[in-house]
Amino acid sequence: MKTESRFFPIFRVLVVVFLILVAVAALVPFFWAVSSSLKSEEETFSRPFAWIPEAWAWENYIKIFERAPLARNMLNSMYYVCGQLILTLIIVPMAGYVLARKHFPGRDWIFVGILMLMVIPRQATVVHLFVLIKNFPLFGGNNILGQGGRGLVDTFTGLILPRAAEPMSIFIMRQFFWSMPKDLESAAKIDGANEWQTYRSIFLPLATAGMSVVIIFGFENAWNDFLWPLIVLYSKQKFTVQLGLLEFQSDTGALWAQLMAATVVVTVPMIALFLVFQRFFFKGISFEGVTK
């Protein structure tokens, strides 16, 4: 025991220094991206490379908006994010609430079904989701059998609807309502409130923490989503930011300074969101991971 107390402080300092080095290493790609984004295209190829640009090429950040419809892409992404969040916030807490607080036939089967859906990655069924969206009845020139038109392909509805009720979000909301005190319902019964009023005025206001977790993950998922927009959207004026980034790459290579400037512009909102709402990110993760 004595040896431990003598060496422990030194060892602790070494470990903390090691961890700081890992953190710096984890952030190096960002420094490199920002540094490259402020160089001229010629300087990005000059060696040995320098962390500080020779001449600060701030114009890269203007050029990227001229060269590609990046502003339009960001607007589209905001549209995608907001549309999805509005639907999610109406639909998902209601489902989580009854799964946690109500007793009705089939409840446990439905819940286990939702757990199973959580495991199937979107990537596995993406082809079929596309076929479904294309043959969606009565939309985009389709008849009632879903033939004849383009359905929801290349529309924001087709982009948003399949993502509005994520099994994971339903699970998180269910866990939040589940963890609330057992006697909340009886208070409402005494007041003579109906089912909707009980939910709306007693439970929903208490679930803001859970809603924040769902909002933040929804934002992150929609903003960073790539495969689904890549498949659903055809017209360039509808592209989201992640698709817009592809414009900066061509078969002959890339203009690295501009590409890095574009990645910085796309990433800064997400990092800002994380730094401000960090608490909710970590809370959401602990909800996934900590078993009772």
Partner 1 sequence: MIPLMRRKEITASYLFLLPALVLLIVFYIVPTLYAFIISFTEYSVLKPPKWNGGVNYIRILTSSTFLQATLNTVVYSLYFIPGIILVSFIIATFLQEFGGRWSGPLLTAFYVPRMTSMVVASFIWLWMYQPDSGLLNSILKFFHLPPQQWIYSTTTVLPSVALVTIWKDFGYTTVLLVAGMQSIQTELYEAARIDGANRWQSFWRITVPLLKPVTLLVVVKTFIDSFRAFTQIFVMTKGGPANASSTIVHQIYVTGFNYLRLGEASAMSFVLLVLLMIAFIPYIRMLRAESDV
Residue type (1 letter), 5: S
Q: Does 115 bind partner 1 (CB under 8 A)?
A: yes
Q: How far is the CB of 227 from partner 1 (least distance, A)?
A: 6
DSSP 254: E
Closer to partner 1 at the Cβ: 59 or 230? 230
Closest distance to partner 1 from the beta carbon of 107 (Å): 8
Among 7, 16, 56, 191, binds partner 1 (CB under 8 A): 16
Candidates 70, 134, 159, 177: give the one binding partner 1 (CB under 8 A). 134
Determine the longest span between alpha carbons in the chain, in angstroms. 82
Closest separation in Å from C-beta 264 to partner 1: 9
Binding of partner 1 by 23 (CB under 8 A): yes
CB of 283 to partner 1, least distance (A): 9
Residue 191 CB, nearest distance to partner 1 (Å)? Answer: 15
Which among 281, 100, 279, 121 has a CA at the least distance from the CA of 173? Answer: 100
Angle at 220 between CA 93 and CA 161, to 5 degrees: 55
Task: Work out the number of other CB atoms within 10 angstroms of the CB of residue 277.
Answer: 17
Interaction of residue 227 with partner 1, rule CB under 8 A: yes
- Judged by CB under 8 A, the residue of 71, 75, 86, 124 near partner 1 is 124
Work out which of 2, 52, 66, 121 binds partner 1, going by CB under 8 A. Answer: 121
Q: Is the Cβ of residue 44 or residue 142 nearer to partner 1 in the bound state?
A: 44
- Assess 286 for contact with partner 1 (CB under 8 A): yes
Site string for partner 1, 41-80 (x = CB under 8 A): ---xx-xxx-------------------------------
Q: How far apart are CA 155 and CA 145, in angstroms?
A: 19
Give the integer Cα–Cα distance in Å for 131 and 9. 62
Phi, psi of 175 (to 5 degrees): -65, -35
Residues in contact with 100: Cβ distance below 8 Å, sequence separation at least 6, in sequence order: 173, 174, 175, 176, 177, 178
Q: Which helix (H) or strand (E) holds 192?
A: none
Strand, coil or helix: 249: strand
Reduced to 3 states (helix: H, G, I; strand: E, B; else coil), residue 42 is: helix
Report in angstroms the alpha-carbon separations of 106 from 110, 112, 117, 168, 189: 6, 10, 17, 20, 24
Contact set for partner 1, span 148-177 (CB under 8 A): 161-162, 164-165, 167, 170-171, 174-175
Q: Does 32 bind partner 1 (CB under 8 A)?
A: yes
98 binds partner 1 (CB under 8 A): yes
Q: Residue 21 interacts with partner 1 (CB under 8 A)?
A: no
Contact 59, 261 (CB under 8 A): no
To partner 1, the closest distance from the beta carbon of 208 in angstroms equals 19
Q: Give the 3-state secondary structure of residue 252.
A: coil
- Residues 244-283: x where in contact with partner 1 by CB under 8 A, - otherwise, as a string: -xx-xx----x-x--xx--x--xx--xx-xxx--x--xx-
